[in-house]
Amino acid sequence: MPVCPLDYRYGRSAVKEIFSEESRLRYMLRVEHSLIYALSKLGKVPENCSDVVARAMEEVRLERVREIEAEIRHDVMAVVRALAEKSGDCGKYIHLGATSNDIIDTATALQLKDYLAILERDLCELEDALESLALKHRDTVMLGRTHGQAAVPITFGLKMANYLAEILRHHERVLEMKNRVLVGKMLGAVGTGAAMGKDALRIQNIAMEFLGLKPEESPTQIVARDRYVELISVLGGIATSLEKFATEIRNLQRTEIGEVQEGFDTKRQVGSSTMAQKKNPIVSENICGLARVVRGFLITSHESAVLWHERDLTNSSAERFVVPHVCVLVDDMLVKMTRVFRELVVNEKRMLENLRAHEDVMAERIIMFLVSHGWSRQDAHEKIRQISMLPGRFRDNLLKDPDVGPILEETLEDLFDPVSYLGVKDSIIDAIIEKKKKMHKNCKKGVEK
């Protein structure tokens, strides 16, 4: 009976399959084969054993591994025995010189290698969606907001370009961490490689090269857990950014703001079980909730890096939860966030109405204008501050003031035009788009189902 919501509600099959029990077995078998391959290359086992074990891998069944584990109560040795059963005379060399975590941690690295390939595609897709919005709405003027209050104007395209820049930084982090995270080991019980003799490092290097992984440079019984801390921290950072974006969508969709709206299927979609008129930002809310779950695993990943001596077993059970859940959920969130941005309804008219309803946001521009006419910055700031605090319309109060009214009268309409007070937003947007184009030269497009 399914208990975890990942089993029936969250996550895509392509990602969950990577972390399934069956796939985990296949990854472990590949690692066992890599050891035999390395040993055969160095003449330490019969040369044909690599091919024999490769064929035997295909005959190992999960049901048989479960049977053996139920009897001996050791998961890795169950895999070893099941593989040995199918390997004939070569079976006696399976797992030679290795320890359980040589197999477990290296298998995890293989899982992460496949997962990160999907994650990179996810990031590319989200970046494409954000670029599209940045370009389409580079001139769609709207209120900037600080402290939840109206601030000077920005454009929706600039907001989306800033989000794009944030995701590009996460993309860089993913690329940078791969050499530190996609690491396996094959050096035995405490990392000395003693059981493998003087060729231990050669055996490890051949096995890792065969698998397309980096060898652990500082092994104990396990791969160093600061690597996992980095992985979960980077994924947690992505989740936090997605929650930030989703929170903004939720806020801008508020009835009294109404500047954007998640895509909504008006023919079939139901917004509320009682309020039939509702169009709720449910996907953005879902992303926010899942981000909190992901960040909850950050503490566990840090604590799992604190182990006794050359290792204990306290990390094992925790990591069985942490790694699959964080990976599956972050992928799920990225795909949902991409869909939100691709289907986003942008209400340009409402954005302009909200901006015009708060004309005092142009106070900064008035100050700069007065300074250009000989006022000190401090005097101009204080004068405009005093006028902004008066009841009534800000523009009218400016004209009534005997000190500034005559100076502003002829240019007031231009000074209150938000479209002409957007600074260097085009240069900022263009620079971010250019960075994205450079990064996307190696992007593999197409979100997996």
For 33-55, what is the mean pLDDT?
97
Give me the pLDDT at residue 278, please.
67
Counting beta carbons within 10 angstroms of the beta carbon of residue 130, is it exposed (0 to 12), middle (13 to 18) or buried (19 or more)? buried
What are the residue ranges spanned by the domains of the chain?
13-18+20-352+429-442, 358-416
For 239-245, what is the mean pLDDT?
98
> 247-285: per-residue pLDDT in tens?
999 999 999 999 999 987 666 776 766 776 667 889 999
Catalytic residue, from 272, 317, 376, 420: name it.
272
Catalytic residue, from 147, 273, 309, 427: name it.
147
Q: Provide the mean pLDDT of the chain.
A: 94
Give me the pLDDT at residue 1, please.
81
Percent of the chain residues past pLDDT 90, beyond the cut: 91
Give me the pLDDT at residue 449, please.
42
> 133-149: per-residue pLDDT in tens?
999 999 999 999 999 99
273 is catalytic: no
pLDDT at 447 over 60: no
Domain 13-18+20-352+429-442, CATH: 1.20.200.10
272 is catalytic: yes
Neighbours of 77 (CB within 10 A): 15
The token pair that represents 364 in the structure block: 């900064």
For 414-430, what is the mean pLDDT?
96
> 273-326: per-residue pLDDT in tens?
677 666 788 999 999 999 999 999 999 999 999 999 999 999 999 999 999 999
Give me the pLDDT at residue 45, please.
97
Give me the pLDDT at residue 142, please.
97
| This prediction's pTM | 0.94
